[in-house]
Structure 1
């Protein structure tokens, strides 16, 4: 067993144009002041990191780490959710997804995908230069518009989508293998990898690639009513990252999992600040510790009610209180008899 590292915080929801949230140094000082020990950096935010430069220069990466070290922090992982989404994008979302990419590839899905692939390859090198072991991203989605089987899906449609998804990701996974970094897919609605079954479909098609791993985030499982504790039992060997995010699901006579197209505040399933939702984090931290999870507990703040700065301030203490310092001895050692093999055989009558 290992003691989970943390608390850490994902900076995506906090970066902004006003100080201290408009620079890595400013965010580092702010996060450290709240009690965080690590930060997860969104690789699409040029205010925080130059991804291409990080892929090319260990010196630059050392400078980034130095900025964090000055505040008493470490970088936990890089994140490419927006770039990963563009690896596989159904045409229905083209107009919406253009905003994830630079203007010169807008309106050109093929060029946009090529840009995303290059971003992922840069992320592999940058992660290695930063000395990181894991990286988080989204899988993208070709089949998501056909989630519900009506109109009836043509035979082979989903299989073809997952074949193509694996084809696009395999060379990226190989690049991360060369870099010595795990690709941790955040299992998430709107992604083709949105539950355990879809992850297994993908994993089979990439030949059980050793770098095709998982980020664990229980909030998404609450919203789709999946057993988030059993999920750890099933997939713990592939879980390399952990987003600590709360959620609640309160169905009514008017709406359930699908939410009736309502805004977040009016949905039956909502993300909440830590401690305000229904996730049993004591059980989660116990299971991850039991299975020897060797990573960081990273706050991902998303809440439709609470101010982000309040959520961040409360989140550091919440995570720290849930981290289990693993024991180095058995609780009943005091009652040990100190017998040896010969004595054991005598006790069993087989001496």
Structure 2
């Protein structure tokens, strides 16, 4: 067994134009000050990282790690959630997702997709230069508008969508394989990879690619009413990243999973700060300890009620208190009778 690493924090929800959130050095100082040991960097945020430079310059990558080390922090992973989303966009979402891309490719879906793919290629090389083993992203979605089968879906529609999705991602997966980095898709509503079944559909189409894995976030599973703890057992070989995020689901006579187009505060399913929701983190961290999860416990803060800085401060303590320092010996070793193989055979009546 091995002890999970953490606590760490995903910086996407905290980066901003005001200090201390407007540079890598100052946000690292803040993160260390509230109790974190690692940070996950959103690769699209130029205030924190120049992705192209990181892909091309080992010296620059060493400087990033050095900046973090000055504050006692490690770099856990990079993220390309926004760029990954743009690898596959259904036309219904073109305008809404355009803001994820650089201005020069907006309004041009083909150019935007090419830009997104190049971003992922850069992220593979940057991750290698930074000495990372895992990377988080979104799959994007071509079939999501058809998630509910009414009107009846034409035969072959979903197969065609997943065939195309796999075709777009296969060269990216190969680039991550060349870099020695796992590409971990966050299982998330709005993505074509939004549950276990859809992950398996994709995995089959990319030939069970050795770098195709999962970023596990229980909050997105509880809001879909999946068995989020059983998910750990089913996909144990693919869970390579872990976002620690809480959620609650409180259905009523008026709304359920779809929540009637309400705002986050009025939805049956809501993201909450750690400890304020319904996720069974004690069981989850026990599973991680028992199953040799190798990575980091990374807070992703999203809550429609609590202030982010309060959530971040409380989250560091919450994660630290839930990480299980694994034992190096069995609890009943004191009663070891020191029996040898010959004695074992006699006890079994084999001699």
Q: Aligned equivalents of 2:348 and 2:98: distance in 1?
A: 72
* Residue 203 (structure 1) shift: 0.2
| Cα RMSD after superposing both structures | 0.4
TM-score (norm 1): 1.00
SS at match of 2:288: helix
Q: Aligned equivalents of 2:259 and 2:84: distance in 1?
A: 26
Q: Aligned equivalents of 1:216 and 1:332: distance in 2?
A: 34
* Residue 180 (structure 1) shift: 0.2
1:235-270, CA deviations, whole angstroms, 9 ceiling, x for partnerless residues? 011100000000000000000000100000000000
Do residues 7 (structure 1) and 16 (structure 2) align? no
1:132-151, CA deviations, whole angstroms, 9 ceiling, x for partnerless residues? 00000000000000000000
Equivalent residue for 2:329?
329
Equivalent residue for 2:248?
248
Equivalent residue for 2:124?
124
Q: Aligned equivalents of 1:104 and 1:83: distance in 2?
A: 15
Equivalent residue for 1:199?
199
Equivalent residue for 1:350?
350
Q: Aligned equivalents of 1:114 and 1:164: distance in 2?
A: 15
Q: Aligned equivalents of 2:134 and 2:244: distance in 1?
A: 16
SS at match of 1:317: helix
SS at match of 1:214: strand
Q: Aligned equivalents of 2:293 and 2:320: distance in 1?
A: 16
1:266-287, CA deviations, whole angstroms, 9 ceiling, x for partnerless residues? 0000000000000000000111
Q: Aligned equivalents of 2:99 and 2:244: distance in 1?
A: 27
* Residue 291 (structure 1) shift: 1.2
Equivalent residue for 2:43?
43
TM-score (norm 2): 1.00
* Residue 161 (structure 1) shift: 0.3
Equivalent residue for 1:186?
186
The answer as to whether partners of 1:245 and 1:274 remain within 8 angstroms in 2 is yes
Equivalent residue for 1:91?
91
Which structure 2 segments of 5+ residues have no match? none
Equivalent residue for 1:134?
134
Aligned length: 351
Q: 4+ residue runs of structure 1 moved beyond 2 angstroms?
A: none
Equivalent residue for 1:55?
55
* Residue 348 (structure 1) shift: 1.1
Equivalent residue for 1:318?
318
Residues 198-277 of structure 1 aligned to structure 2 (within 5 Å): 198-277=198-277
1:290-343, CA deviations, whole angstroms, 9 ceiling, x for partnerless residues? 111000000000000000000000000000000011111111111111011100
SS at match of 2:136: strand
The answer as to whether partners of 1:236 and 1:288 remain within 8 angstroms in 2 is no
